[in-house]
Amino acid sequence: MTHARLAFLAPLALAACSNTPPGSGVAALTPLNDTAVLAANCTTCHGVEGRGSGDIPALRGRPATQLAERMLAFKDHRVTGASATVMPLMMQGYSATQIEALAQWFAKETP
pLDDT of residue 12: 40
Does residue 6 lie in a domain region?
A: no
Give this prediction's pTM: 0.67
Does residue 46 lie in a domain region?
A: yes
Does residue 50 lie in a domain region?
A: yes
Domain count within the chain: 1
The tens digit of pLDDT for each residue in 6-55 reads 444 444 444 444 444 444 444 455 454 578 888 888 988 998 889 988 88
Does residue 36 lie in a domain region?
A: yes
109 CB-side CA count, 13 A: 8
Does residue 74 lie in a domain region?
A: yes
> Could you give the CA distance from residue 96 to residue 67 in angstroms, rounded to a whole number?
12
Does residue 13 lie in a domain region?
A: no
pLDDT of residue 13: 42
pLDDT of residue 97: 93
> Could you give the CA distance from residue 106 to residue 50 in angstroms, rounded to a whole number?
7
Does residue 100 lie in a domain region?
A: yes
> The domain that contains 88 carries what CATH number?
1.10.760.10
Q: Structural domain of residue 88, as residue ranges?
A: 30-107
Q: In a 3-state reduction of DSSP, which class is residue 25?
A: coil
Q: In a 3-state reduction of DSSP, which class is residue 60?
A: coil
Does residue 44 lie in a domain region?
A: yes
